[in-house]
Structure 1
Amino acid sequence: MASLTLGGFSMTVRTRPITRTNHKPCRISCVQWDPEGLYGPPQTGHLARREINRRLEKDAEFREALEQQAREEKQRRHSLRQSRVIPDTPEKLIEYFLDTEAQEIEFEIARLRPRLNEEFFSQLQFELGQLRFAVSKTEEMEDRLIELEALQKALKEGTEAYDKMQGELVKAKKSLTKILTSKDAKATLLEMVEQNELNRSLLTLLDENIASANQGKQKEAAAFMEKLRAAVLKYMTV
């Protein structure tokens, strides 16, 4: 109970305590509330970045595994090449090539090119003739005939490609010497364009010289060769 006086009148007012039966604590319903723009736009994509990083790590591991595999394969081939004994007769040389892995044929052709002469191919043709015109052929003979025919084709095409490459390499060396010893490199290049002396073999030779200069830490020589290569490439496409 409480007394209240208003305008000379007095009255009694019944009072009772105020209770809040449904009162809930105040809390922020929006965590991104930023009316003043103090924090900038909300940042998203955290999961995406983590996924990208994870993939990059996996890619790095994959590249490292491939590089390791390549190193091991290179070492295996080097060891295999060193362990093989080169035969001294055409008959044994045929067997040598039959036992050569397909990816090593090109290397063996380059290494044994002087041995792949008329005498060798005559022996190969002789063995092929014996198998082709045999009165009775066994399955083993048929298989060997197929192998020798494939070998003959591979060696003929391989030696032709090797000889052509060597001829182009000789020309490329002459062309490079011509450029390096000329007083006016630009005029020399234009002259060589007219004579069709600029080709991919020259670029390959320049690449080899650049790699050799970089390996020997000859920076000035490497830079000069790179400029020369760019000029050759430019005039080749004119």
Structure 2
Amino acid sequence: MASLRSNLVPSLNFLLPRPMNNNFKTRSRILCVGWDPEGLLGPPQTGHITRLEFKRTLEKDAGAREAFERQVREEQQQRRTARQGRVVPDTVEGLVEYFLDTEARELEFEIARLRPRLNEEFFKHLQFELGQLRFAVTKTKDMEDRLIELEAMQKVLLEGTEAYDRMQADLILAKERLARIFQSKDKKATLLEMVEKNEINRSLLTILDENIATAYKDDQKQAAEFMEKIRAAILKYMTV
């Protein structure tokens, strides 16, 4: 599996290509919509017909379905083991090398896990090294390669942290709005007020679904059914 150091730009599955400057053929932008730190969704697949055929095969063939589920479990266990085996450096310099050696599919997880370390100090250090490489009087091939790696890594991490922060902010707002609905004596009026303020969205529904699943898991059937009624009401007004 390619890492940032070995094959950065083409291998980032969660990035969306777009035109770039003269130094690169493609440019990438991280999308919050596809944020999947645990890697549970796997790499993006192409070919709608191929996916449908694969889905039908799993539905009809119990053996194929069992083999696929076993493969997924094994891969998830391998990834968990690999994550546990990695030692996060204590220094900023070490953290730069850590991200350069991170596999593309693990970047979202590592950004989420190490978000507090991706701070002003880290990006200042990264910018300082980039400046040294850009304005060096004499450049070797290794220096040019590292400049490309660091520039690409800087872009990925800046956009990755921005996407992560935006997602966290959305979830916090969604939790506050859901609490307001739960505590309201007139839930219909509260929902209508939230619709007027454009506060009904997917994040709110996601948090509610998590609460419903937890309630069923904890055998709180009455609470789960109550939240499902709220969910049905939200769906009537949701526009995003």
Please confirm whether the aligned pair reaches a TM-score higher than 0.5, indicating the same fold.
yes
Q: Which amino acid aligns with 2:226?
A: F
One of 43, 68, 71 as aligned partner of 1:69: 71
CA distance in 2, matches of 1:118, 1:230: 44
1:91 aligns with 2:114: no
Contact 2:200 2:239 in 1 (8 A): no
Match of 1:80?
A: 82
CA distance in 1, matches of 2:101, 2:219: 41
Q: Which amino acid aligns with 1:194?
A: E
CA distance in 2, matches of 1:223, 1:80: 40
One of 182, 188, 191 as aligned partner of 1:189: 191
- Give the TM-score taking structure 1 as reference length: 0.72
Residue 206 of structure 1: SS of its match in structure 2?
helix
Aligned-CA RMSD value: 1.9
Superposed displacement of residue 148, structure 1: 0.9
In the TM superposition, 1:126-137 aligns within 5 A as: 126-137=128-139
* Superimposed CA distance per residue, residues 157-195 of structure 1 (whole angstroms, 9 cap, x where no aligned partner): 011111111111111111011000000111110011011
Q: Which amino acid aligns with 1:196?
A: N
Superposed displacement of residue 56, structure 1: 7.7
Superposed displacement of residue 214, structure 1: 2.5
- Go from structure 1 to structure 2 and tell me whether the alpha carbon gap of 1:131 and 1:59 turns closer, same or farther (over 3 Å shift): farther
1:123 aligns with 2:118: no
Match of 1:207?
A: 209
One of 111, 114, 117 as aligned partner of 2:116: 114
1:228 aligns with 2:230: yes
Match of 1:38?
A: none
- Go from structure 1 to structure 2 and tell me whether the alpha carbon gap of 1:118 and 1:230 turns closer, same or farther (over 3 Å shift): same
- Go from structure 1 to structure 2 and tell me whether the alpha carbon gap of 1:128 and 1:217 turns closer, same or farther (over 3 Å shift): same
- Give the TM-score taking structure 2 as reference length: 0.71
1:180 aligns with 2:176: no
Q: Which runs of 5+ in 1 are unaligned?
A: 1-54
1:144 aligns with 2:146: yes
Match of 2:19?
A: none
Superposed displacement of residue 57, structure 1: 8.8
Q: Identity of paired residues, percent?
A: 73
Deviates more, 1:156-165 or 1:206-215: 206-215
State which structure, 1 or 2, has the greater radius of gyration over its C-alpha atoms.
Answer: 1
How many residues matched?
184
CA distance in 1, matches of 2:162, 2:59: 46
* Superimposed CA distance per residue, residues 64-101 of structure 1 (whole angstroms, 9 cap, x where no aligned partner): 22211111111112112222222111111111111111
Match of 1:34?
A: none
CA distance in 2, matches of 1:102, 1:57: 31
Residue 61 of structure 2: SS of its match in structure 1?
helix
CA distance in 1, matches of 2:116, 2:58: 50
Structure 1 segments (4+ residues) deviating >6 Å: 55-58
Q: Which amino acid aligns with 1:134?
A: A
CA distance in 1, matches of 2:136, 2:66: 54
One of 145, 160, 163 as aligned partner of 1:161: 163
Q: Which amino acid aligns with 1:225?
A: M
